Structure 1
Amino acid sequence: MMRKERLKKFVLLLFLLPAFCMCSLSDQNTESLAKHVDPFIGSGGHGHVFVGASVPFGGVQLGPSNIFKGWDWCSGYHYSDSIIIGFSHTHLSGTGGSDLGDVLLMPVHGEVSVNRGKQDNISNAYASYFSHDNEEVKPGYYSVLLDKYNVKAELTATERVGIHKYTFPSENDNHVVIDLKEGNGDRSTDTFLKKVDAHTIEGYRFSKGWAKDQRLWFTLKSNHEIEKLEVYDDTTPAGEYVIKAKGAKGVISFAGNPKEVILKVGISPISSENALANITAEATGWNFNKIASEAEEKWNQELSKIEIETADPELKEIFYTAMFHSFIAPVLFNDADGSYRGTDKKVYSNPGFQNYSVFSLWDTYRTQHELLTIVQPERVNDFINSMLAIYQQQGKLPQWHLMGNETNAMLGYSAAPVVVDAWQKGFDGFSEELAFEALKASGTFQLQRGIAPLMEYGFIPREKAREATSVALENAIDDRSVAQMAKGLGKEEDFEYFFERSESYKSYFNKSTGFVHPRFADGSWATPYDPMESIHMVGDFSEGNGWQYTFLVPQDPEGLIELFGGDENFTTKLDSLFTITGDMGEHASIDITGLVGMYAQGNEPCHHMAYLYAFAGQQWKTAEKIRYILNEFYTNQPDGLIGNEDCGQMSAWYIMSSLGFYQVNPSNGIYVFGSPLFDKASINLPEGKSFTVEAVNNSDENVYIQAVELNGQPYSKSYIRHQDIMDGGAIKFVMGSTPNYDFGSSPADRPHSIL
Structure 2
Amino acid sequence: MKRKYLNASFTNLKMMNKTKHLNRHILFLLLTAAFHQVVQAQHMLLLPAKNQHELTKYVDQYIGTGFHGHVFVGANVPFGAVQLGPANLSEGWDWCSGYHISDSTIVGFQHTHLSGTGIGDLGDISLMPTTGPVIVRKGNVKNMQSGYVSLFSHRDETVRPGYYAVKLKRYNIGVKLTATERVGFHEYTFPKSNDAHILIDLQEGIGWDRPVETSIQQVNATTITGYRFSTGWAKDQRIYFAAVFSKPIKNFSVYDSLTAKTGTALTGKKVKGVLSFVTAEGEKVLVKVGISPVSVGNAMMNIRAEIPGWNFNQVVAEADRKWNEQLEKVTIKTASETQKKVFYTALFHTMIAPSIFNDHNGDYWGTDKKVHPKAAFTNLTTFSLWDTYRALNPLYTLIQPEKVSDIINTMLAIYQQQGKLPVWHLMGNETNTMVGYSAVPVVADAYLKGFKGFDANLAFEAVKASAMRNDRGLKFVKKLGFIPADSTAESVAMGLEYSIDDSGIAAMARKMGKTEDEQYFSKRAQNYHNYFDPKTHFMRARLNENQFRTPFSPFESRHEVGDYTEGNAWQYTWLVPQDVKGLIALQGGEKPFTQKLDSLFVAQGDMGKEKSPDISGLIGQYAHGNEPSHHITYLYAYAGQPWKTAEKVRFVMQNFYTDKPDGIIGNEDVGQMSAWYVLSAIGFYQVDPTSGVYVFGSPLFNESTLKLAAGKTLHVIAKNNSAQNIYIQNASFNGKKFTHSFITYQELAQGGDLVFEMGSKPSASWGIAMGDRP
Taking structure 1 as the reference length, the TM-score comes to: 0.95
Shift of 1:523: 3.2
Q: Counterparts in 2 of 1:217-366, with a 5 A limit?
A: 217-254=240-277, 259-366=283-390
Q: Tell me whether 1:34 sits opposite 2:66 in the alignment.
A: no
- 2:185 maps to amino acid: I
Choose from 379, 391, 401 the match for 1:367.
391
Shift of 1:591: 0.2
Gaps of 5+ in 2: 1-15, 20-46
Cα pair 2:71 2:668 within 8 Å, conserved: yes
Separation (CA, whole Å) in 2 of partners of 1:56 and 1:36: 16
**Quick one: percent identity of the two aligned structures?**
55
Shift of 1:526: 1.4
Cα pair 2:230 2:237 within 8 Å, conserved: yes
Cα pair 1:535 1:587 within 8 Å, conserved: yes
Q: Tell me whether 1:174 sits opposite 2:189 in the alignment.
A: no
Separation (CA, whole Å) in 2 of partners of 1:130 and 1:411: 40
Tell me the alpha carbon deviations over residues 348-373 of structure 1, each in whole angstroms, 9 at most, x when there is no partner.
Answer: 01221000000000000000000011
Cα pair 1:225 1:255 within 8 Å, conserved: no
Shift of 1:2: 4.1
- 1:139 maps to amino acid: P
Q: Tell me whether 1:390 sits opposite 2:414 in the alignment.
A: yes
Aligned to 1:22: none
Aligned to 1:590: 613
Q: Which moved more, 1:575-584 or 1:647-656?
A: 575-584
Q: Counterparts in 2 of 1:667-746, with a 5 A limit?
A: 667-746=690-769
Shift of 1:30: 7.7
Cα pair 2:190 2:280 within 8 Å, conserved: no
Tell me the alpha carbon deviations over residues 609-658 of structure 1, each in whole angstroms, 9 at most, x when there is no partner.
Answer: 00000001110110010000000100001100000000000000000000
Aligned to 1:543: 566
Tell me the alpha carbon deviations over residues 392-432 of structure 1, each in whole angstroms, 9 at most, x when there is no partner.
Answer: 11010000000111000001000000000011111011001
Cα pair 1:211 1:406 within 8 Å, conserved: yes
Cα pair 1:453 1:464 within 8 Å, conserved: no
Cα pair 2:190 2:279 within 8 Å, conserved: no
Aligned to 1:133: 155
Tell me the alpha carbon deviations over residues 28-53 of structure 1, each in whole angstroms, 9 at most, x when there is no partner.
Answer: 98821000000110011100000000
Shift of 1:444: 1.4
Aligned to 2:24: none
Local SS of the residue matching 2:543? coil
Separation (CA, whole Å) in 2 of partners of 1:420 and 1:741: 37
Choose from 147, 154, 160 the match for 2:182.
160
Separation (CA, whole Å) in 2 of partners of 1:145 and 1:260: 14
Q: Counterparts in 2 of 1:521-670, with a 5 A limit?
A: 521-670=544-693
- 2:671 maps to amino acid: G
Cα pair 1:695 1:732 within 8 Å, conserved: yes
Separation (CA, whole Å) in 2 of partners of 1:686 and 1:605: 30
Q: Counterparts in 2 of 1:46-195, with a 5 A limit?
A: 46-185=68-207, 186-195=209-218
- 2:721 maps to amino acid: N
Cα pair 2:195 2:278 within 8 Å, conserved: no
Cα pair 2:71 2:114 within 8 Å, conserved: yes
Local SS of the residue matching 2:100? coil
Separation (CA, whole Å) in 2 of partners of 1:287 and 1:686: 34
Aligned to 2:39: none
Cα pair 1:680 1:693 within 8 Å, conserved: yes
Local SS of the residue matching 2:262? strand
Separation (CA, whole Å) in 2 of partners of 1:288 and 1:523: 68
Separation (CA, whole Å) in 2 of partners of 1:667 and 1:3: 40
Cα pair 2:398 2:709 within 8 Å, conserved: no
Q: Which moved more, 1:225-234 or 1:86-95?
A: 225-234
Cα pair 1:3 1:631 within 8 Å, conserved: no
- 2:738 maps to amino acid: Y
Separation (CA, whole Å) in 1 of partners of 2:743 and 2:527: 29
Tell me the alpha carbon deviations over residues 335-394 of structure 1, each in whole angstroms, 9 at most, x when there is no partner.
Answer: 000010101110001221000000000000000000011111011100000000000110
Tell me the alpha carbon deviations over residues 571-596 of structure 1, each in whole angstroms, 9 at most, x when there is no partner.
Answer: 01000011111111111000000001
Q: Counterparts in 2 of 1:324-473, with a 5 A limit?
A: 324-447=348-471, 449-473=472-496
Cα pair 2:392 2:676 within 8 Å, conserved: yes
- 2:103 maps to amino acid: D
Shift of 1:152: 0.6
Cα pair 1:477 1:502 within 8 Å, conserved: yes
Separation (CA, whole Å) in 2 of partners of 1:498 and 1:119: 55
Local SS of the residue matching 2:486? helix
Choose from 478, 486, 491 the match for 2:514.
491
Separation (CA, whole Å) in 2 of partners of 1:219 and 1:545: 48
Distance 1:345 1:177, change over 3 A: same
Local SS of the residue matching 1:226? coil
Cα pair 2:290 2:302 within 8 Å, conserved: yes
Tell me the alpha carbon deviations over residues 548-591 of structure 1, each in whole angstroms, 9 at most, x when there is no partner.
Answer: 10000011101100111111110010000111111111110000
Query: Cα RMSD over matched residues?
Result: 1.5
Distance 1:68 1:495, change over 3 A: farther
Tell me the alpha carbon deviations over residues 7-44 of structure 1, each in whole angstroms, 9 at most, x when there is no partner.
Answer: xxxxxxxxxxxxxxxxxx99998821000000110011
Separation (CA, whole Å) in 2 of partners of 1:157 and 1:301: 16
Separation (CA, whole Å) in 2 of partners of 1:395 and 1:358: 19
- 2:561 maps to amino acid: V
Separation (CA, whole Å) in 2 of partners of 1:257 and 1:413: 57
Cα pair 2:423 2:434 within 8 Å, conserved: yes
Cα pair 1:224 1:255 within 8 Å, conserved: no
Choose from 509, 523, 542 the match for 1:519.
542
Cα pair 1:173 1:257 within 8 Å, conserved: no
